[in-house]
Amino acid sequence: MMNYSTSYRHKSQTQNHTRDRNNKRSAWLSLILFRFSLRDYGFCMTSLFLFCLGSLFYQWNGGPPKFLLEFRQYLGQSTFFDDHGPYPPRVLPFPSQVVYNRVGKCGSRTVVLLLRVLAERHQFTLVSSEIHNKTRLTKHEQVDLMKNISNLPKPFLFTRHVHFLNFTRFRIEQPVYINIIRDPISRFLSNYFFRRFGDWRGEQNHLIRTPGMKDFERYLDINVCILENYPECSNPRLFYIIPYFCGQHPQCREPGPWALERAKKNVLENFLLVGILEELEDVLLLLERLLPHFFSDVLSIYKSPEYRKLGNMTGTVKKHTPTLRALQVLYQRMKYEYDFYYFVRDQFHLLKKKIGLKSASTQTHQPSFLLNLPLATQEPEEEEEEEEDDEEEEGIELDDAHSWLVQP
Ligand X SMILES: *[C@@H]1O[C@H](CO)[C@@H](O)[C@H](O)[C@H]1NC(C)=O
At what angle are helices 335-355 and 324-333 packed, to 10 degrees? Answer: 80
Report the alpha-carbon distance of residue 346 to residue 288 in Å, rounded. 20
384 binding ligand X? (CB under 6 A):
no
Residue 141 vs 254, nearer CB to ligand X: 141
Chain centre distance of CA 91: 14
Least CB distance to ligand X at residue 148 (A): 4
Is residue 149 within 8 Å of residue 90, measured between CB atoms? Answer: no
Candidates 16-24, 88-96, 133-141, 385-393; binding stretch for ligand X (CB under 6 A)? 133-141
For the annotated catalytic residues, the residue numbers are 161
- For the chain, how big is the Rg over CA atoms in Å? 31
In whole angstroms, the minimum distance from the beta carbon of 44 to ligand X comes to 54
Q: Which amino acid is at 79?
A: T
Can residue 247 be called a binding residue for ligand X (CB under 6 A)?
Answer: yes
CA–CA gap between residue 89 and residue 4 (Å, rounded): 55
**Would you count residue 319 as binding ligand X (CB under 6 A)?**
no
Our finding on whether 169 is near ligand X (CB under 6 A) is yes
Q: How many helices (H) and strands (E) does the chain have?
A: 18, 5
304 lies in the site for ligand X, by CB under 6 A: no
Pair 90, 162: CB distance under 8 Å: no
- CB of 240 or CB of 295, closer to ligand X: 240
Q: Answer yes or no whether residue 400 interacts with ligand X by CB under 6 A.
A: yes
Nearer to ligand X, 147 or 214 (CB): 147
- Residue 168 interacts with ligand X (CB under 6 A): yes or no: yes
Q: Any residues with CB less than 8 A from the CB of 170 and at least 6 apart, and which?
A: 142, 143, 146
Q: Identify which of residues 112 and 227 has a Cβ nearer to ligand X in the complex.
A: 112
For residue 28, count other CB atoms closer than 10 A to its CB: 10
88 binds ligand X (CB under 6 A): no
Contact stretch for ligand X (CB under 6 A) within 29-37, 164-172, 176-184, 213-221: 164-172
CA 290 to CA 127: how far, in whole Å? 20
Q: Per CB under 6 A, which region of 165-173, 280-288, 348-356, 382-390 contacts ligand X?
A: 165-173
- Tell me: does residue 315 bind ligand X (CB under 6 A): yes
| Long-range contacts of residues 353-358, Cβ cutoff 8 Å, at least 24 apart | 354/85, 355/286, 355/289, 357/282, 357/285, 357/286
- Asked if 141 is part of the footprint of ligand X (rule: CB under 6 A), the reply reads yes
Q: Is 37 in the site for ligand X (CB under 6 A)?
A: no
> Residue 144, interface with ligand X (CB under 6 A)?
yes
Q: Count of alpha carbons within 13 Å of 86, Cβ hemisphere only?
A: 10
261 near ligand X, rule: CB under 6 A: no
Asked, as a colleague might, if the bond just before 236 is cis with ω within 30 of 0, I would say yes
User: Least Å distance between CB 292 and ligand X?
Assistant: 27
Give the number of residues in contact with ligand X, rule: CB under 6 A: 16
Q: Give the residue, chosen from 92, 112, 127, 145, that forms a contact with ligand X under the rule CB under 6 A.
A: 145
- Is 243 one of the binding residues for ligand X (CB under 6 A)? no
Beta bridge partners, 177, equal 99, 271
Distance CA 247, CA 136 (A): 8
Window 266-295: residues binding ligand X (CB under 6 A): 266
How many angstroms separate the CA atoms of 405 and 387, rounded? 16
Q: Which is nearer to ligand X, 257 or 374 (CB)?
A: 257
Amino acid at 383: E
191 binds ligand X (CB under 6 A): no
With binding defined as CB under 6 A, does residue 397 bind ligand X? yes
- Closer Cβ to ligand X, 145 or 357, answer by number: 145
Note whether 133 binds ligand X by CB under 6 A. Answer: yes
Nearer to ligand X, 79 or 312 (CB): 312
180, containing H or E segment: strand 176-181
Write out the H or E segment, with its range, that includes residue 98.
Answer: strand 97-100
Under the rule (CB under 6 A), what is the footprint of ligand X?
133-134, 141, 144-145, 148, 166, 168-169, 247, 266, 312, 315, 395, 397, 400
